[in-house]
């Protein structure tokens, strides 16, 4: 775990430099967003929620910038939605399910419609935004699995 943590701490500054140097390259922005998110996931696994929240928030900032710059790039928009979903799942994050729902609806309207594996997340976000969720943990593990299959 300490080697993985050191890896992220060492490589995130490089990803930040690459993202700044390549503002018109979606994958450079995605690597930064995902780097923050993966580091935060690691921190959550080692029970360091305050540090994880900080990294998730940094990832969200990067995802928001990328989403604004590439409004029709599905994978960029999805990275934004995934970080919002992750943060909304943490009570102290300050991200609401209404925010998650708004991002998914924007993706559905502006990009190309949701890909089939994202439709259940839209439906679940609607339930959670209305306070009627029935499948909280099941959706988080499904989100993790489906994120692995999204290509740049």
* pLDDT 10s digits, 3-49: 998 999 999 999 999 999 999 999 999 999 999 999 999 999 998 99
Q: Which two tokens stand for residue 35?
A: 């780097």
* pLDDT 10s digits, 44-72: 999 899 999 999 999 999 999 999 999 99
Listed in sequence order, the residues at least 6 apart from 78 whose beta carbon sits closer than 8 Å to its beta carbon are 107, 118, 147, 150
Pseudo-torsion of CA 115, 121, 125, 127, nearest 10°? Answer: 120
Q: Is pLDDT of 151 > 60?
A: no
Q: Is pLDDT of 131 > 80?
A: yes
pTM of the full predicted structure?
A: 0.87
Greatest Cα pair distance, the chain, in angstroms, is 44
Confidence of residue 150 (pLDDT cuts 50, 70, 90): low
Q: Is pLDDT of 139 > 80?
A: no
Q: Which two tokens stand for residue 63?
A: 């995802």
77, 71 Cβ separation under 8 angstroms: yes
């Amino acid at each position: 775990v300490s080697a993985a943590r050191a890896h992220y701490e060492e490589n995130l500054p490089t990803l930040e430099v690459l993202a700044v140097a390549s503002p018109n390259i979606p994958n450079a922005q995605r690597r930064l967003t995902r780097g923050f998110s993966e580091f935060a996931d690691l921190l959550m696994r080692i029970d360091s929620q305050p540090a994880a929240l900080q990294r998730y928030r940094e990832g969200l900032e990067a995802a928001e910038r990328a989403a604004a710059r590439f409004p029709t790039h599905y994978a960029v928009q999805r990275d934004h939605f995934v970080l919002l979903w992750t943060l909304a799942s943490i009570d102290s994050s300050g991200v609401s399910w209404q925010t998650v729902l708004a991002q998914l609806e924007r993706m559905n309207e502006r990009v190309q419609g949701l890909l089939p594996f994202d439709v259940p997340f839209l439906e679940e976000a609607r339930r959670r935004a209305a306070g009627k969720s029935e499948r909280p943990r099941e959706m988080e593990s499904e989100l993790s699995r489906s994120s692995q299959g999204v290509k740049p």
